[in-house]
Amino acid sequence: MTVLYNIMNIITFAGVVQGLFFGLVLFNLKTRYRKATRFLALFLFTFSLTMAGGIAYNTGWILHVPHLSMLHVPFGAVIGVPLLLYIKTITNPAYKPVITDRLLFLPFGIILIWLLPYYFLPAAGKKALLLDSYQGQPVAWKAIFAISALANVAVLVMSYLVILRHERIIQEVYSDTKNKTLLWTRQFFYSAAVILGLCVLMSLVNITLADATSNMLFTLVIYVFGYRALRQPEIFSGINPEAIPQTAELAIVPQKDGYEKSGLSESKAAELRLQIEHLMNGEQLYLNPELNIQQLADKLRLPPYQVSQLLNRVIGVSFADFVNKYRTEHFKQLATNPANDHLSILALAYDSGFNSKAAFNAIFKKLNRQTPSEFRQNALQNTSAQ
């Protein structure tokens, strides 16, 4: 078992070193996302510091420098805070931390004050407590770790809610949401949940092994997703940042469909609807894979939020579904044309305004309740029967 612990600690330590290096790179990276990448860097710094403290304790190295013991513990309560701020920043170009964000650091302050008596102990006193803790941790320490765990779970839930909100927003802004979602963050939360569940089960048998295992697994997960975060492309490219908050409000505030809820008169809404349909049918704007609500609004000479109002509250669809409906209908026309029998389904999808095979298949099945292959096969059978 000692050999296993040593291997786990070595892997975790390598991750700590990598995290500190990666954090420095992110912190000094010159990019349009500089504020967001710095929050991500702080996340890696905080995580690395906490993991380093855990390694020092698990290996017994901390007994040689007892004055460094427990210094990492308050930081463990706010590991997720920089990640939350990163997600808020990258999903909202106009986001600025507000006073209420400081409440997220409250667990750090509580634990720091709680540990002050320990910090002021002489080295001999700290060493004695550390030695005793290897036989069984004090109740106060367990309470601190429980507060830390609950605080991080709360922040992770808040982060997840921000992501869900963001996914609703981009449906109102883009026709193609590829590279606009934060899929890697969803995968991170699922991974974190699995690791936490595994840790709880293992702690019923061996707390030390559970701690070492979770540290190692979290280290691996954090840096895989940290790399993916670094590669996250700009989300709101081609969109006026001032238009996002108003459009976002339409996406996140439940509204009943209807003219009275849209702020548009029935005649005005009908006029705008005809204009949009003319643009979509006449100019075939949907064939542009990068079409966004800003471009459509510019064509109509309206602010984006009014276009979103019409689609969301009067017609009853999101911008993405509205555009993709035209694209799938265009695909159907191409797929049922005998002149296109030599073309692949993917080629026809690209000719219809889609730029991703996976997105096309998912959207087509969502709107038509059958796959593109099934549709084309049925169309060919009907043609043969005639």
Domain boundary assignment for the chain: 2-230, 243-385
**pLDDT for the residue numbered 348:** 92
Residue 385 has pLDDT above 80, yes or no: no
Residue 327 has pLDDT above 90, yes or no: yes
pLDDT mean over 318-342: 89
**pLDDT for the residue numbered 127:** 93
**Highest mean pLDDT, choosing among 19-33, 102-116, 142-156, 282-296:** 102-116
Q: What torsion, rounded to 10 degrees, do the Cα atoms 124, 116, 150, 4 define?
A: -20
3-class DSSP assignment, residue 229? helix
pLDDT mean over 328-354: 90
Residue 246 has pLDDT above 90, yes or no: no
pLDDT mean over 25-47: 83
Residue 61 has pLDDT above 70, yes or no: yes
**Phi/psi of residue 257, nearest 5 degrees:** -70, 150
Residue 256 has pLDDT above 50, yes or no: no
End-to-end, the C-alpha distance of the chain in Å comes to: 73
pLDDT mean over 295-308: 85
Rounded Cα distance between 7 and 11, Å, is 6
**pLDDT for the residue numbered 270:** 82
Q: What is the pLDDT of residues 260-286, one digit of tens each?
A: 444 567 777 888 888 888 888 888 989
259 vs 360, higher pLDDT: 360
**pLDDT for the residue numbered 134:** 83
361 vs 231, higher pLDDT: 361
Contacts of 73 (CB under 8 A, 6+ apart): 53, 111, 115, 144, 145, 148
The percent of residues above 70 in pLDDT, for the chain, comes to 83
- Estimate to the nearest angstrom the gap between the alpha carbon of 76 and the chain centroid: 21
Q: Going by CATH, does the domain composed of 2-230 fall within 1.10.275?
A: no
**pLDDT for the residue numbered 76:** 87
Q: What is the pLDDT of residues 175-211, one digit of tens each?
A: 776 666 667 777 777 787 787 777 767 766 666 677 7
Cα angle: 121, vertex 127, 130; to 5 degrees: 105
**pLDDT for the residue numbered 257:** 47
**pLDDT for the residue numbered 251:** 44
Kindly report whether the global pTM for this prediction surpasses the value 0.75.
no
Question: Residue 341 corresponds to which tokens in the numbers above?
Answer: 């029998």
Q: Which of the residue ranges 8-22, 128-142, 286-300 would you say has the lowest mean pLDDT?
A: 8-22
Rounded Cα distance between 12 and 15, Å, is 5
Contacts of 119 (CB under 8 A, 6+ apart): 70, 71
Cβ atoms < 10 Å from Cβ of 374: 13
Q: What fold, for 243-385? A: Arc Repressor Mutant, subunit A (1.10.10)
Q: What is the mean pLDDT of the chain?
A: 80
**pLDDT for the residue numbered 242:** 47
**pLDDT for the residue numbered 191:** 81
**pLDDT for the residue numbered 237:** 47
pLDDT mean over 146-156: 86
What does each C-alpha distance from 54 to 216, 368, 383 come to in angstroms? 11, 53, 69
Residue 81's pLDDT band (boundaries 50, 70, 90)? very high
